[in-house]
Amino acid sequence: QVLVSRATSCMFKLLQRATSARAARRVVSGAARLRAQCYSTSLADVELAAPQPAPLCALLEEEQAMAEAASRFARERVGPVVQSMDEAGKMEADVIDGLFEHGLMGIEIAEEHGGCGATFTAACLVVEELAKVDPAVSVMVDIHNTIINNCVSRWASPELQREWLPRLASDTLGSFCLSEAGSGSDAFALRCAARRDGDDYLLSGEKLWISNSAEAGVFLVMANAAPEKGHRGITCFVVPREAAGLRVGPKEDKLGIRASSTCPVLLDDVRVPASAVLGEVGAGYRYAIEILNEGRVGIGAQMVGLAQGALDRTLPYLHERRQFGTPLIEFQAVAHEVADLTAELHAARLLVYDAARRQETGTPLVKEAAMAKLIASRVAEKTASKCIELLGGVGFTKEYGVEKLYRDAKIGAIYEGTSNIQLNTIAKLVSAQYK
């Protein structure tokens, strides 16, 4: 009986570490065999197998289901309107509504607030799948899930959570207002001010390059409530779109991700109650640093999806197109190019998945998030460029959609921390290990 008890205890411990249904079935099967042996085996003879680490790409059943749902939505609802949205520079309302209807906008929000209660990895998988078809839709979903929803879930008061989380999961798009004209990579040089006025705050300033702003129903606005304290006065405010004095300016005419809105947001003495402060007064800088580290993992997932989408559009053509009587893929130079791109993409995907799992376990991920975004953005840009070359003349047209992915890829080296900022972060943390 002691042996049986030990075997059962071990089984439960291993089940807790299992990362897939298949792994769980192996644990249960192995434990059953072990219990059967216990009645005829001495304690000294029993060896409990150590848990086997799962591959980085191993997914939970719910994660796989989310990825498949996002893939279907991307093919059926996004695919038919990708080109028209890109040409118009406008996100279709039907696409946004569909994302909410399919549960893709409240992935990590707790079920009690109407969300899916899924993992950060699940959110990254959704971002990746959508990016295979349209990175513009992907980044909208990424910002909403990994930044807006997680800020509110993590730091907002219970009252703000009850007010906004159900809406963020069901029908209200969010926008994150940090950047300003003089505050880009130097994010905390912002000048947007929050002046106390009785029980309220008055927000004044202008935010630039704000994603999701044209369609958003709520804005998380970073403003300085105590300029004399420098960045330690920066505070995050939850501001509804209908707030008097808030105005969204005209959209930028961009190179890529054109359907994703990028606009200035102007605040002219926007009055908000003190209860609209997200978290603590003066802690906004800390929230921004932490959430943007995680957001970089999401951008890494977007870039991985983009690169995979370029390959998915290119490989069939390489098998169909013949020159000198031979399919292009059978020319060694072409095959080697595809092999290189595939290997580099897999490496980028592993960096992203590793960083995502670190977020879920509370493991430090600043360096890993920076590496994931840096490498994934490089891989995306290179893959899209090489795929255009592999496609030849048709790659230079809009017919196959790779030229759009090439335009979309460039933003990966710019937003949510430029590549040079990622290099600075990585170098600083590596150097610190040897001091």
Q: Which residues are catalytic?
A: 416
Query: Which of 286-315 are b and which e, b meaning 16 or more Cβ less than 10 Å from the residue's Cβ?
Result: bbbeebbbbbbbbbbbbbbbbbbbbbebbe
Lookup: tokens for 166: 């159900």
What is the DSSP annotation of 251-303? Answer: PP--SS-TTS-EEEEEEEEEEEEGGGEESSTT-HHHHHHHHHHHHHHHHHHHH
> Cβ distance 152 to 161 under 8 Å?
yes
Alpha carbons 294 and 106: distance in angstroms, whole number: 16
Q: Which residues pair with 207 in a beta bridge?
A: 265
SS3 419: helix
Q: Please enumerate in sequence order all residues whose Cβ is within 8 A of that of 435, keeping only pairs 6 or more positions apart, or say none.
A: none
Distances (CA, A) of 359 to 47, 192, 265, 289, 369: 33, 30, 30, 14, 9
CB 267 within 8 A of CB 278: no
Cβ atoms within 10 Å, residue 393: 8
The one-letter amino acid code at 170 reads S
**What is the spatial distance between Cα 386 and Cα 384, in angstroms, rounded to a whole number?**
6
Tell me whether residue 282 is exposed, middle or buried, using C-beta atoms within 10 angstroms of its C-beta: 0 to 12, 13 to 18, 19 or more: middle
Residues 207 and 267: beta-carbon distance below 8 Å = yes
Exposure string for 39-59, b = 16+ CB within 10 A, e = fewer: eeeeeeeeeeeeeeeeeeebb
Report the relative pairing of strands 193-197 and 234-240 from DSSP bridges: unpaired
